[in-house]
Chain A
Amino acid sequence: QGQLVESGGGLVKPGGSLRLSCAASGFSFSDYYMSWIRQAPGKGLEWVSKITTSGTNKYYADSVEGRFTISRDNANNALYLQMNSLRAEDTAVYFCARDRYSGGYWDYFDYWGQGTLVTVSS
């Protein structure tokens, strides 16, 4: 059974930076696209970013484009999210999740981590 464990969250001032990590185990990490999804306090889920298996292609929500960078280290089964120029509205629990595709179409997220809280405040 696959497992995802996020880390790296914390309190950061507006304009600051933070790097989140997601450690994967129990499955062949390099075979799967991976995503970051966030949830602001008391709000719904919001997709943030996705990365392909090799790391060649990366996709971002408009709200984080140009500020966040997704990356992965397949040798160490790790996913990362570098967050720069943080704003108050980036305050959220950040989840990493495994993407499943079917016939080339995005299908669903089957594994989710427990999340890590990022608070942007002065």
Chain B
Amino acid sequence: HSALTQPPSASGSPGQSVTISCTGTSSDVGGYNFVSWYQQHPGKAPKLMIYEVTKRPSGVPDRFSGSKSGNTASLTVSGLQAEDEADYYCISYAGNHTPVFGGGTKLTVL
């Protein structure tokens, strides 16, 4: 499976909303509701932010939300805060034991 496509960068001002896309195919993102999103600050481990397209783990602010349309999943961060500046990765089930990863998006809070 090819990697999922994410924009290399995204940005927004504090308080604004920003949406990061994750485009795959009908064999991964479009075929299953098993898309997850991870936040990674420099030098840190990735942190699960969204799973099963729309679900938030306990402790993740409700400013983070997920959605999907066709072969594209999206992560929206509302009410941007300085601490949201990080890299974000999407991962999807791809029909076997090897999940497919997005290339990552660097989110900058202006």
Please give the residue numbers on chain A whose beta carbons come within 8 Å of chain B beta carbons, in ascending order: 44-47, 50, 59, 61, 95, 100, 102, 105-110, 112-115
Contacts and interface: CB of A to CB of B under 8 A. Distances in A.
12 contacts: A100-B51, A105-B32, A105-B34, A106-B93, A106-B99, A107-B36, A108-B36, A109-B46, A110-B48, A110-B57, A113-B45, A115-B45
Nearest to A4: B45
Contacts of A59: 97-98
A114 B40 CA distance: 11
Contacts of A100: 51
B89 interface: yes
Interface of chain B, main secondary structure: loop
A45 B101 contact: yes
B99 A112 contact: no
B46 A112 contact: yes
A95 B45 contact: yes
Interface string B67-90: 000000000000000000000010
